[in-house]
A and B are shown apart, each in its own frame.
Chain A
Amino acid sequence: MELVEAIILSVLAASTPLLIAATGELVTERSGVLNLGVEGMMIVGAACGFGGAWLTGSILIGALFGIVAGTLMSLVFALMALGLAVNQVATGLALTILGIGLSGLIGAGFVGERITPAAHLHIPGLTDVPLIGRVLFGEDAFVYFSIALIIGVWWFLYRTRAGLILRACGDNHISAHALGYPVLRIRTLAVMFGGACAGLAGAYLPLAYTPFFIPGMTAGRGWIALALVVFASWRPGRLVVGAYLFGAVTILQLHAQGWGVGIPSQFMSALPYLATVIVLVLLSRARTGGSTAPAALGTVFVPDR
């Protein structure tokens, strides 16, 4: 019983940064921009988030530092890929390389330091209910926030006019421009939202997951978040399912090693990517028409004036 509870708790903890980062990237990609720099923005968010919390002793300020750092990183991307119309794939990859280097520099001063991790909710009575108590009512604030965030994004995309305009930019930027929508401004905002989410997801790692910072601690989670957006076929509902599934796989991998299951851990680490490839194949076989990906995804847009 306790083991099951422990596994669920660790799955939630492992899934939350994936969910937050992928939510941001989903909004970015829905606006038609492919930002491959999620890993880079996350790791800078992790370094700055830890630095903020370590200097001030406040988890909240740490999280804000992470958000600001991720947003600043995404602005570098926006300047290159939107302002100067540089190839988005190349810019995104460069952003990741930049982020890994930059985070090592920022974090050099506090490697080995520890902070008190984010507190978990405790509601007397409810939290103590066996099995589900701690899962539902005993998480840290990031977990609840991530769920509120994806619901908010779903509501924004499908229930508001601004969300409709954002999806329109991702479908056909020429039409959106012809109707008078400021495509580049909308995309810049979407990229910034993606950066803020990636920064927060990165900050989650040293603030709640492991209470210290080590260089490279995102360990490929940014790439999993990117795969997750494709896995979810750009839909918020599927993104939640995918995030917990991918989180579960990473935890399963640890437990499988502990139990001495004879599956190589490398194979388990590769599972999320393999699942993404399989989903892509299934999607392209099953679709009857229309495109699942935002039609303008990754294409450069220069308005004529």
Chain B
Amino acid sequence: MQAHQRMLDPTPDGLHSGESPLLQTVGLTKRYGDFLANDSIDIEIWPKEIHALLGENGAGKSTLVKAIYGLIQPSAGEIRWQGERIALSGPSEARSRGIGMVFQHFSLFDNLTVAENVALGLDGKESFKDMSARLEQVSKTYGLPLDPKREVWQLSVGERQRIEIVRALMQDPKFLILDEPTAVLTPQEADQLFVVLERLKAEGRAILYISHKLEEVKRLCDTATILRGGKKIQTCNPRRETAASLARMMVGGEIREVKAAAGRQTTIPRLVVNDLSLAPDEPHGVRLEHISFELKGGEILGIAGVAGNGQDELFAALSGERLAKDPGTVVIEGIAAGHLSITKRRKLGAAFVPEERLGHGTAPRMKLSENALLTGHAASGMVNRGFIDTAATLDTVDKATETFDVRKAKRDPEAASLSGGNLQKFIVGREILRNPAVLVVSQPTWGVDAGAAAVIRQALLDLATAGAAVLVTSQDLDELAEIADRIAVMFHGRLSEPLATRDATREKLGLLMGGSSLEPKEAAHAAGA
């Protein structure tokens, strides 16, 4: 510990010349079998810098930061800390040198208190009491309020992230890594985070900021390094680039533009929800309260909201995974269906794509054809007098493969062997091929690369053009703005009045996502629009 402190000479403010960077990787390579997750990556991070790390899923961002944080050992190359080559034995050594990390999927313990969670992220050299006092002080200094005695499961996502950030700050890090910190925040919460980050930068710390939200990066970051397929593509100044040029570097080509057909007609109401209320069936669940909306054929309704505000519960109630007491609460194609099972709802012409691809959308260890059967058995003629029509199931796989450009190693592989984007294309394709009258889809492009996301969004638009009613739940406001006709927001199990997409500014949606209501006049106006 003392040895490190002697090493940590204060670096002159903002001077790059003649100094060595705070952290540098040279030819950093991580190999898993034949797969190069990181291929000879050089990156330099200087004090007082917010450095963006950009790339698609699977580009190697997480692998790189895990190596920098000591969680994995690089296969080749080196990491230099203040000019000196280091080999990290693990995260606790990284922390003691002054490297902090805020994880994307929080590294928190739901059934422990905030103070216990913070204690676990420190090295235990101070008493629990001293630590609690310091926790209070740090959270006050940075304006990140926390109640140390509460258990994590009681907290909102934004509060959970605060724990992670405070925990990292309590180690007084010189260098802080944030992995997609705004993915789960409302726009307003993200703004508050940026204030904290600017302050950390002003204090002389360096920040490595992983994101794929390009506007955010342009606004916040001084430098950006772009990774693609495990290789470094470029380091640039994001303020001098456009979002489109950054996206090109990330994807390595133009992204197909999603186009809505002009003059889409809305027809009869195909999915109607009347005053749906439902108690949660698990301890951490959300109660649905008085949800009502009407969705016509040819229309796409987007549901925005921070995760965990009842979206999963609404999906379960619509799909029939959970039944409502009153049949009239969910009406599909004019038939009261609240009490009907998922199979009967499919027979009415509804199709469902859940958020979780593996385990919910598909059985991971079963073949694609078997997975096609699992949702198609009721209404797609794949079963003949109780026997499986193997040819028909394989036919569905082939059609989905062809129509939606699903890339796979063989004709009928196990679901788990496909990449996230390809599996999602298959699942969406499988449902669309059934020509549903109503499609309910949750997080259609979550964790999917930009190319596949464009294919899926286009497919949803085409389906609406063909006359189906489409309900899309997403946390990606840009996605909803791109495809939805109207956007409603879920908060604490309640659904706001839908806004026409052209009226749904980020500010308005952000307010609704944070639980505020719009001005009564404005809301009435939006409802009338």
Contact = CB atoms under 8 A, between A and B. Distances in A.
Interface of A: 161, 164-165, 167-168, 171-172, 174-181, 287-291, 294-295, 304-305
Given A176-B120, A179-B107, A290-B153, 5 more contacts: A168-B116, A172-B108, A180-B91, A290-B111, A291-B111
Interface residues of B, number: 27
Given A180-B70, A304-B72, A288 B111 contact: no
Interface of B: 70-73, 90-92, 95, 103, 105-112, 116, 119-121, 124, 151, 153-154, 283-284
The 7 closest A-B pairs by CB, nearest first: A180-B91, A175-B107, A178-B107, A171-B109, A180-B90, A180-B92, A289-B283
Contacts of B105: 174
Contacts of A287: 283
6 contacts: A161-B124, A172-B109, A178-B103, A180-B91, A290-B110, A291-B110
A303 B346 CA distance: 40
A156 to B, nearest CB: 15
A179 B107 CA distance: 7
Nearest to A291: B111
A154 to B, nearest CB: 16
A286 to B, nearest CB: 11
A186 to B, nearest CB: 12
A305 B120 CA distance: 21
Nearest to B121: A179
Interface of B is mostly: loop
Contacts of B103: 178
Given A287-B283, A289-B153, A171 B110 contact: yes
A295 B107 contact: no
B153 to A, nearest CB: 5
A3 to B, nearest CB: 45
Question: Which residue, of B107, B116, B151, B154, has the highest number of chain A Cβ atoms within 10 A?
Answer: B107
Nearest to A292: B111
Contact of A168 (B109, B153, B284): B109
A202 B119 CA distance: 38
A25 to B, nearest CB: 19
A174 B119 contact: no
Nearest to B285: A289
B284 to A, nearest CB: 6
Nearest to A164: B116
Given A161-B119, A179-B91, A179-B121, A290 B109 contact: no
B91 A295 contact: no
B182 to A, nearest CB: 20
Contacts of B107: 172, 174-176, 178-179
A304 B73 CA distance: 10
Nearest to B101: A178
Contacts of A167: 109, 112
A76 B124 CA distance: 33
B120 A179 contact: yes
Nearest to B72: A305
A178 B124 contact: no
B109 A289 contact: no
Given A161-B119, A180-B90, A175 B108 contact: yes
Nearest to A305: B72
Contacts of A180: 70-71, 90-92, 95
A173 to B, nearest CB: 10
Nearest to B90: A180
A175 B153 contact: no
A168 B120 contact: yes
Question: Which residue, of A172, A175, A304, has the highest number of chain B Cβ atoms within 10 A?
Answer: A175
B298 to A, nearest CB: 42
Nearest to B103: A178
A228 B111 CA distance: 21
Contacts of A161: 119, 124
B283 A295 contact: no
Contacts of A181: 120
Contacts of B71: 177-178, 180
Nearest to A162: B124
B128 to A, nearest CB: 8
Contacts of A164: 112, 116, 119-120
B70 A168 contact: no
Nearest to B71: A178
B283 A288 contact: yes
B90 A172 contact: no
Contacts of B153: 289-290
Contacts of A174: 105, 107
Contacts of B106: 175
B124 A171 contact: no
Given A178-B91, A179-B121, A289-B153, A305 B73 contact: yes
B119 A175 contact: no
B103 to A, nearest CB: 6
B28 to A, nearest CB: 16
Contacts of B116: 164, 168
A171 B108 CA distance: 9
